[in-house]
Structure 1
Amino acid sequence: MLTIGQLAAYAGVTARTVRHYHQIGLLPEPERDDSGYRRYGAKAVVSLIKIRTLANAGVPLSQVGPLLEAEPAAFADALQRIDRDLRDEIDRLETSRKQIAQLTTGDTLALPSDVLHYLDRLREIGASERMIDGEREGWILVAARWPDQIPEVMAGKLAQLDDPHHVRLYRLLSEIIDSDPVDDRLLEEAADIMANLAEQAFAAGELNFEEMAQDEVAVGLLDGLLLESDPRAGRMLELMRERGWVGWTRLERLDAPCQR
């Protein structure tokens, strides 16, 4: 007869594991002998080895007990089901590994490849890293809300970067974000460009991404992110209002510009 330590060592587990199996009813707990110790026979060793083998194979402990008592055909069917579950879990873990491998820079976190390409293009035209940081956080919100719309939206955003006015705007905004204090003339020039671009988009019927413009929660989050990221955004909103526009994520035209 074996002590609990000897049993555990023979089966290749720990005494703590044996006690756990007792607690959950997988391994019957023997009576104690006159000296107060549990003593285990050969059947207990065989049972423990079977339990250990199934557990090491990935069988959930909740299913080990029924398997030990199953007929051969039922045992085989159950193992096939468990094998399918394990394959599904392996596929999920492989997907997770691929996603982790892609997270080589902060840009890739929670962003699709279309947005990453756009951020790279911003770098190419001279946008600063602080500017790109703000863009990245905004696009995380957009991609989470409208993942299926991202390819179409990004195609439009990339096309804008072929326009020298948009390029100048991004460079100006980068300079504004990186400056402390900022020259108000830079803010004025940026507001002029934004207002002119808004007028062109309004005339072409392309002012806002329609679904985004109708989503009050998303508009509030994106505008809030802007104001939280840089307090000078409030000044930009004032300058845009002077030029006849309100909002940021959802630009809206005023009937008449405010007096400067």
Structure 2
Amino acid sequence: MAEGLTIGQAASFAGVTIKTVRHYHRLGLVAEPERDSSGYRRYRSGELYRLVQVRTLAAAGVPLAEIGDLLDSDPATFAATLDDVHRRLTERIEDLTARRDRLHRLDHGDRALLPDRACAVLDRLDAFGFSPGYVAAQREAMVLARALIPELFDNFLTQLEHLLDDPETVELTKRGWDARSWDPDDPRIEELASALADKLLTNRGLLALPTGFRDQSDAVSRYALVNHHREDQSPSIARLTALVEANLRAAGIAVPHQ
């Protein structure tokens, strides 16, 4: 009776394919057994043990090019190398988790382009009964702000968070969105602009621009693209925004102006 295992049996016990076993042989990771009297290579315990070691390390993420030296190293080097492999695997897991989370957001459109804090604000807007159109407009403005004026992005989010902490401001903001259907000359727009500006001025610190922002040649254009987003779709909103900005400037706030 022949001693040892055929290559097919060895591969099966080790949990790999015959093709993989032969690949390990070509790389010198596992010694190829001598042929027996019948001309077959028989894998004994030594070869099988090495095969299992190689397969385990490869499955754990150790590059095949490193496995041979690793198995032949002293215990301290072996342990240090495994620690490094563990670190690299942890980094890969974190990266893959982040990618998975971004993919999960894709079914929410532009939310894939926003950080968690911004998405939390959008969820609160929805929970406070703002219309889908307003939430969509704010989502677009967030994406633009993050890309065009990253220096102001955190303040932008903080302003929205303060808005939601004040029921009166929530109602004023909802009225501002409803003003889309008003005539641009409607006197209510001036009243609403004054009330909104007064609310913004209760947190003057959030209205301050970062040092040096206004000195940038394209600062005004970038700011305008965000703060005047969608105004071309509603003349009354354009007038409301212009009046709010005028009231803020009159109160000493350096609002960029084209």
Question: Which interval holds the TM-score relative to the shorter structure?
Answer: 0.5 to 0.7
Q: How far apart, in 1, do the equivalents of 2:78 and 2:42 lie?
A: 26
Verify the 8 A CA contact 1:130 1:174 in the aligned structure 2.
Answer: no
Q: How far apart, in 1, do the equivalents of 2:193 and 2:179 lie?
A: 19
After TM superposition, list the pairs within 5 Å mapping 1:173-252 onto structure 2: 173=177, 176=180, 183=181, 185=183, 192=190, 196=194, 208-211=207-210, 214=214, 216=218, 220=222, 223=225, 232=233, 236-237=237-238, 252=256
After TM superposition, list the pairs within 5 Å mapping 1:1-260 onto structure 2: 4-22=7-25, 26-27=29-30, 39=41, 41-42=43-44, 43-86=46-89, 92=94, 96=98, 106=108, 109=112, 110-113=114-117, 116-117=120-121, 120-121=124-125, 123-124=127-128, 126-142=129-145, 146=150, 150=154, 153-160=156-163, 162=166, 164=168, 167-173=171-177, 176=180, 183=181, 185=183, 192=190, 196=194, 208-211=207-210, 214=214, 216=218, 220=222, 223=225, 232=233, 236-237=237-238, 252=256
Letter matched to residue 185 of structure 1:
D
Letter matched to residue 77 of structure 2:
A
Give 1:13 shift. 0.8
TM-score by length of 1: 0.58
| Identity level (%) | 26
Verify the 8 A CA contact 2:25 2:32 in the aligned structure 1.
Answer: yes
Matched residues, number: 235
Flag the structure with more relative contact order, 1 or 2, with Cα contacts below 8 A and sequence separation at least 6.
Answer: 2
2:250 corresponds to which residue?
none
Pairwise CA RMSD: 5.3
Verify the 8 A CA contact 2:6 2:43 in the aligned structure 1.
Answer: no
Ranges in structure 1 where 5+ consecutive residues have no aligned partner: 177-182, 255-260
Q: How far apart, in 1, do the equivalents of 2:68 and 2:49 lie?
A: 14
Give 1:153 shift. 4.5
Q: How far apart, in 1, do the equivalents of 2:11 and 2:35 lie?
A: 17
TM-score by length of 2: 0.58
Give 1:14 shift. 1.4
Give 1:167 shift. 3.2
Q: How far apart, in 1, do the equivalents of 2:35 and 2:143 lie?
A: 62
Give 1:122 shift. 6.4
1:5/1:209 Cα in 2 relative to 1: closer, same or farther (>3 Å)? farther
Give 1:48 shift. 1.5
Ranges in structure 2 where 5+ consecutive residues have no aligned partner: 247-253
Q: How far apart, in 2, do the equivalents of 1:16 and 1:218 lie?
A: 64
